[in-house]
Amino acid sequence: MLPGDRVEHAAVVPAEAVPVMRRLGLRVVTQPGFLADRGDSFLDGTPPHEHADLYRCASFLRDGIPLALSSDAPYGPLDPWSVIRAATTRRVPGGRTANPAERITAAQALTSYLSPPHSPGSSRPHLRPGSPADLVLLAVPLTNALSHPSADLVRLTLIAGRIRHFRS
């Protein structure tokens, strides 16, 4: 293994693999948004004994494995707020919940979503004077937005200092 090695698309991870991944120093990138997008198909098409293994999140964090969330767009939902919501509720379109023990808080999901691409699961970089900013301006305080994650709360998005989205 090399520093920074990671498991991409950790869709089905058996519980016994989690401590091995930690011992190997792996990072994980996973897409819980698939549960909200097509979770019924996953639950119906996966053997019941593997349902607990689908799109783990909490297990990785509990075991100290750096975790990053992503959309996997265009195959998964592009909206990061729907991915955050899926990580917190694990609700599939038909209303079932996929392994509630794997829920994480919205703050944990946001932190995992914001980790840098070159180092999934690490702390996001800090803004420095003079550097172009990636910024999201919300219509409500962050704590309110995290209690009901929704793209409707986003008023302005800057990427590398350029306006990419504005809603008055």
- What's the pLDDT tens digit per position in 9-30? 999 999 999 999 999 999 999 9
**Residue 122 or 58, more confident:** 58
- Banded model confidence at residue 118, pLDDT cuts 50, 70, 90: confident
Whether residue 133 is predicted with pLDDT greater than 90 in this model: the reply is no
Whether residue 42 is predicted with pLDDT greater than 90 in this model: the reply is yes
Decide the pairing of beta strands 154-159 and 162-166: antiparallel
| Domains contained in the chain, CATH given | 6-117 (3.20.20.140), 126-168 (no CATH)
Please check whether residue 155 is in contact with residue 115, taking contact to mean a CB–CB distance below 8 angstroms. no
pTM surpassing 0.85?
Answer: yes
